[in-house]
Structure formats: structure tokens, C-alpha cells
Amino acid sequence: MTNEDAVEEFRKLLAITDDLLGPDGCAWDREQTVVSMRESVLEEACEVIEAIDEGNNTDVVEELGDLLYNVVFFCKLGEKEGRFNTVDTLRSIREKLIARHPHVFGGKKLEDMDAIIEQWEQIKSQEKSHRESLMDGIPKGLPALARAYKIAKKMERADYDFQAEEELFESEEELGKLLWIVVRQARRQEINPETALRKEMVNQEKAFRDWENTTGS
């Protein structure tokens, strides 16, 4: 399989999407909008993750195809609604990748992983110089646990002063068991863990933003 083969398959996928959204296409597809389809992106991404976790390559291929079609479908809906077009989307990610990898596409060479990550964060920061906090840009639509993980990562990179915490686990398996215990206890107490974590993140974000304002970070 060459890049040319992939481009040809992508062209065919674009054509099929046009047919589905055309006058003689699918009535359900024609009724969809960028807004009505927004939840499907998260659903399809979760199915990709599930297929990867199960180690079934056939399922991974199928779910990646579904996710890719979501992107294409969104692009075509954007064109239909006059919001943006497919070329804009492709150009945007291509230009972003080049800009964020000067050690590959520019004269600056980096091999050290920490240096690459630091450069990545600096470039992102420059791109979003209007941001008021490191918390800005973390999608609020993420599942609570995934969003909390990103928030904690941002805080750690800012050298935020966490209170000392007892080490409760040392492996992914131990963490999984611990989370399962928490969920079971939450169910018995009739507490929604997703909601509880989201509320705690509000408190943690506020404390971090106050810290940023105090330190000038």
C-alpha cells in the first residue's frame, strides 16, 4: 500500500460522502448538522480505544475507519453549512504539524525527548498567546477522568505545589482495581463518580488559576 493508494481511497470516500449528502442520497444523512453529530466523535474515538485495548487488529481497522468517516462527514457538513471546507481542514493540520516540528521540518535538530516536549509546549503557548491560564484549551467535553488527567499533567509541568500524597498504587493493574473499588463504593452511596470528579476539578482549576495569578505563571 502506497501513499498514492491511500489518496485514491480517500478520494473515493469523499465521493461516497457527497453521494450520501446529495439530492438522491440518504435522508438521514442530509438531515444531520455539525451540531447534531458532535457526540458521535467521542463515541467513535472511544470505540477505537476499546478495539486497541482488546488487541483485535480487525476491529481496530474497522473502528478507525468509522472515526475517519466521522471526520470526512463533518468536513462535508461544514461545506454544506458554509462554515468551512475539507481543504481548510487538511491544510490546517498540515501547517500545524510543520510548525510544531521544527526539529524535523526546520533547521533545529532535537533528539532528547524532554527537549522535544518542552519545545512542543512553547510552540503551543505562542500559538495561544491570548490564553489566560494553562487550563484554557483543555476540552470540557472530555470524560471527567480523561480531563482530570490532562489537568494534573498541566499542573505538574507548571511546578504547581501539590500537597504530599500517599502512593496508593504502582501499576496500571493496581490503579484499575483501585478505581473499580471507588466506583463500586460510589454506586452504593448513590454518588455519580463522573459528576463528583467534575465538581472537584472545578475546585482544583480555581485553585490553580489563583496560584497562576499570584505567581505570574
Q: Rounded CA gap, 204 and 16, in Å?
A: 46
Q: What type of residue is 81?
A: E
**Residue 104 falls within a domain, yes or no?**
no
The verdict on 67 and 154 lying in the same domain is no
The verdict on 21 and 93 lying in the same domain is yes
**Residue 148 falls within a domain, yes or no?**
yes
CATH of the domain at 32: 1.10.287.1080
The verdict on 63 and 145 lying in the same domain is no
Residue 49 lies in domain: 3-98
Phi, psi of 65 (to 5 degrees): -60, -40
Angle made by CA atoms 142, 77, 24, in degrees to the nearest 5: 135
The total of structural domains in the chain comes to: 2
The verdict on 10 and 82 lying in the same domain is yes
**Residue 208 falls within a domain, yes or no?**
yes
pLDDT tens per residue across all 217 residues of the chain: 789 999 999 999 999 999 999 999 999 999 999 999 988 988 899 899 999 999 999 999 999 999 999 999 999 999 999 999 999 999 999 998 998 888 888 877 777 777 777 777 777 766 655 567 778 878 887 888 988 998 998 888 888 877 777 788 899 999 999 999 999 999 999 999 988 998 999 999 899 988 888 886 5
**Residue 124 falls within a domain, yes or no?**
no
Angle made by CA atoms 112, 115, 116, in degrees to the nearest 5: 85
